C-alpha cells in the first residue's frame, strides 16, 4: 500500500467534468497538494494509507468555488450606502469614503474580512480589483486562499498612485514580487472605459501581452455608461475597445448588462470571457446580462459577487442560484442555464478565464486539491434526488463544513484554521466606529 498525505471519503464527489458525473461512495486521494486518485472507497482503502483521513458520509465533495469579480477590501463598506443607482452610489458615497479612508491598513483589514467570509462560504479562489493590492496579497499569502490580484489602473489619482505611470509601475512591482507564488497570480485591472483613456488601455494591452496575463475590466454595466461613451467617443464602449484591439481571450469583461447582437458576436469571435454579477446588477438596477444567449454563442461565462458594498455579501452559492434563475426569466426559457452549467460557471469556467484551468477548477488527477465539503445531512437538504441540482438550487453557504486549498485545510468543521475570526471581527468593528462617527 502506498502512503499519502490525505484521503477524503465522501458520500458523493462532484468532479465538475464534461459529462456532469456524480460519483457515489468515492474517495479523493491527495499527496503533496495534488490529487493522485479519484476512485471508489473500497479501492482507496486497498491501495492507500494516509497520514490524515476524513469520512464524509453525508457530504458532497466538490471543487472550491471561484469568485471571478471582487473588490475584497470594500467589505468594510458593506451597508454604507444602499438602495441607490450606480453613479449616485459611487460619486456621492463610495468614492468620497474611499478618498477619506483608503490606505494599506484599510485594505488589509477589509481583505481579511472578505477572505474569511469567502473561505467560510466555500470560495477557494477570487479575482480581485482594488487599490493597495499588496495589502490584499499579504492576507492571501497568510490565509492560504488562492487569488488573482488586479494591478488596478484608473486615470485619476488615489491614495495608492498619483498618475497612470505610477499605477503601471506599482502593478509591475506586484507582478514581479509574486510571479513565482504558488497561489497568487496577477491581472491588469483597468477600472472601466469611462475612467481609463485610449492611451492607457493601449499601454495595458501591450503590457498584458508581454506578461501573458488577463485583463479584468468593468464593461457595459449600465445604460448610462453607453450613452456617455457615445457622447464622448461617438461609439459604444465595446466598439471602442474592439477598435483598440482589446477584445481577446485575455479580456474578462465584468457585468455586460447592455449588449446587442453584434456585440455578442464580437465577444464570441474574440474569445472574450464574461464575469456575470447577478446580485450586484439587481441591487443597483444596472440591467440583465443575457447569459443564456452568451452561452448559445459559445462564450465562456463566469460568476462573481462584485463587492460586499454593492451585493451585500460574497456568497457564491446564492450567486449561482441567482444566475440560473435570472437566465430563465430573461430568456423566458425554463431550460436555460441548467444547474450543471451554473456550477461550471462558478468553477471551471472561471479557472479558464484566469488561465489556471490546468491546475484547478475541477477535481481531476494531477490537479491541485482545491475543494470543499458540503453537508447534505440537514433537514434543508432533504430529500436529494439530484446532487448538482441540490448544490445550485437548495444549498446555502452555511452547509460548507470543510475547505482545502493546495491540499491544506483552511476550514475544519466550520472553523477557520488559518485566520483568527475573533480578531477579524474586533478589527472590523474598530473600522466601523471610525467610519460611522466621522463625516464621510
pLDDT digits (tens, 9 = 90+) for 371-399: 999 999 999 999 999 999 999 999 999 99
User: What fold, for 65-353?
Assistant: TIM Barrel (3.20.20)
Does pLDDT of 137 surpass 90?
Answer: yes
Please tell me the distance from the alpha carbon of residue 268 to that of residue 300, in angstroms, as a whole number. 9
d(CA 269, CA 37): 37
Range of weakest confidence among 41-50, 95-104, 321-330: 95-104
pLDDT tens-place string over residues 292-314: 999 999 999 999 999 999 999 99
Distance CA 186, CA 127 (A): 9
| Residue pair 288/330 in contact by the 8 Å Cβ criterion | yes
Q: What is the pLDDT of residue 305?
A: 98
What are the cell numbers at 395?
Answer: 444549498
Residue 72, CB-side half-sphere exposure with 13 Å CA sphere: 34
Q: Rounded distance, CA 404 to CA 385, Å?
A: 27
**What CA–CA distances, in Å, run from 131 to 102, 108, 110, 311, 341?**
8, 11, 12, 19, 33
Residue 90: which pLDDT band, with cuts at 50, 70 and 90?
A: confident
Band the pLDDT of 438: cuts 50, 70, 90: low
pLDDT band at 335 (very low <50, low <70, confident <90, very high): very high
Give the list of residues 6+ apart from residue 218 with CB closer than 8 angstroms, or none.
191, 192, 254, 255
- 3-class SS of residue 163: coil
Q: Where are the alpha helices (DSSP H) in 121-258?
A: 133-143, 164-178, 198-211, 223-233, 237-244
Q: With bands split at pLDDT 50, 70 and 90, how would you rate the model's confidence at 89?
A: confident
Stretch 349-374: mean pLDDT, rounded? Answer: 98
Question: What is the Rg, in whole angstroms, of the alpha carbon atoms belonging to the chain?
Answer: 21
Whether the per-residue pLDDT at 414 is higher than 80: the answer is yes
Give the separation between CA 170 and CA 391, rounded to whole angstroms: 40
CATH number of 2-63+370-406: 2.30.40.10
C-alpha cell read off for 71: 473588490
pLDDT digits (tens, 9 = 90+) for 210-258: 999 999 999 999 999 999 999 999 999 999 999 999 999 999 999 999 9
Query: Are the C-beta atoms of 63 and 10 separated by less than 8 Å?
Result: no
Reported as a pLDDT band with limits 50, 70 and 90, residue 87 is confident
The pLDDT mean for the chain works out to 97
| pLDDT above 60 for 19 | yes
| Cis geometry, peptide bond prior to residue 383 (ω within 30 degrees of 0) | yes
pLDDT of 166 higher than 50: yes
In the chain, the percentage of residues whose pLDDT exceeds 90 is 95
What lies within 8 Å, CB to CB, of 262 at 6+ separation is none
What pLDDT shows up at residue 440? 43
Q: How confident is the model at residue 317 (pLDDT cuts 50, 70, 90)?
A: very high
Rounded average pLDDT over 405-409: 98
Task: Label residue 95 by pLDDT band (50, 70, 90).
Answer: confident
List the chain domain ranges.
2-63+370-406, 65-353
How far apart (Å, rounded) are the C-alpha atoms in residues 277 and 221? 10
The pLDDT, as a whole number, for residue 238 is 98
pLDDT reported for residue 86: 81
Please compute the mean of the pLDDT values over residues 346-363 and round it to a whole number: 98
Cell, residue 199 = 492611451
Amino acid at each position: 500500500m502506498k502512503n499519502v498525505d490525505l484521503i477524503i471519503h465522501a458520500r458523493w464527489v462532484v468532479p465538475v467534468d464534461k459529462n456532469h458525473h456524480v460519483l457515489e461512495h468515492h474517495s479523493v486521494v491527495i499527496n503533496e497538494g495534488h490529487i493522485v486518485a479519484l476512485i471508489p472507497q473500497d479501492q482507496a482503502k486497498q491501495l492507500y494509507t494516509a497520514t490524515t483521513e476524513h469520512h464524509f458520509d453525508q457530504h458532497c465533495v466538490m471543487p472550491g468555488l471561484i469568485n471571478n469579480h471582487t473588490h475584497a477590501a470594500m467589505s468594510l463598506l458593506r451597508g454604507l450606502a444602499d438602495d441607490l443607482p450606480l453613479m449616485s452610489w459611487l460619486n456621492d458615497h463610495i468614492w468620497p469614503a474611499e478618498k477619506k479612508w483608503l490606505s494599506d491598513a484599510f485594505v488589509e483589514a477589509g481583505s481579511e474580512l472578505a477572505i474569511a467570509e469567502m473561505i467560510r462560504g466555500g470560495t477557494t479562489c477570487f479575482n480581485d480589483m482594488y487599490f493597495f493590492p499588496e495589502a490584499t496579497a499579504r492576507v492571501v499569502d497568510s490565509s492560504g486562499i488562492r487569488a488573482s490580484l488586479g494591478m488596478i489602473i484608473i486615470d485619476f489619482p488615489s491614495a495608492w498612485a498619483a498618475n497612470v505611470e505610477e499605477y503601471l509601475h506599482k502593478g509591475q512591482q506586484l507582478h514581479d514580487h509574486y510571479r513565482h507564488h504558488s497561489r497568487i497570480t496577477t491581472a491588469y485591472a483597468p477600472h472601466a472605459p469611462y475612467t481609463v483613456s485610449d492611451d492607457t488601455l493601449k499601454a495595458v494591452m501591450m503590457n498584458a501581452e508581454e506578461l501573458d496575463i488577463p485583463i479584468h475590466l468593468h464593461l457595459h454595466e449600465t445604460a448610462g455608461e453607453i450613452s456617455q461613451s457615445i457622447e464622448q467617443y461617438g461609439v459604444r464602449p465595446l466598439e471602442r475597445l474592439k477598435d483598440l484591439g482589446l477584445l481577446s481571450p485575455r479580456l474578462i469583461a465584468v457585468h455586460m448588462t447592455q449588449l446587442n447582437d453584434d456585440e455578442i458576436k464580437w465577444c464570441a469571435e474574440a474569445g472574450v470571457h464574461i464575469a456575470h454579477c447577478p446580485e450586484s446588477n439587481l441591487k443597483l438596477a444596472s440591467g440583465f446580462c443575457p447569459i443564456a444567449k452568451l452561452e448559445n454563442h459559445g462564450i465562456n461565462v463566469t460568476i462573481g459577487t462584485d463587492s460586499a458594498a454593492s451585493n451585500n455579501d460574497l456568497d457564491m452559492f446564492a450567486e449561482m442560484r441567482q444566475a440560473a434563475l435570472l437566465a430563465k426569466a430573461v430568456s423566458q426559457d425554463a431550460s436555460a442555464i441548467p444547474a450543471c452549467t451554473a456550477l461550471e460557471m462558478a468553477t471551471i469556467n472561471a479557472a479558464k478565464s484566469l488561465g489556471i484551468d490546468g491546475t484547478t477548477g475541477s477535481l481531476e488527477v494531477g490537479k491541485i486539491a482545491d475543494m470543499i465539503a458540503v453537508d447534505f445531512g440537514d433537514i434543508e437538504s432533504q430529500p436529494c434526488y439530484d446532487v448538482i441540482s441540490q448544490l445550485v438550487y437548495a444549498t446555502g453557504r452555511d452547509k460548507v463544513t470543510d475547505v482545502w486549498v493546495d491540499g491544506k485545510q483552511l476550514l475544519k468543521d466550520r472553523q477557520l484554521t488559518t485566520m483568527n475570526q475573533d480578531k477579524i471581527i474586533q478589527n472590523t468593528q474598530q473600522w466601523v466606529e471610525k467610519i460611522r462617527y466621522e463625516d464621510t
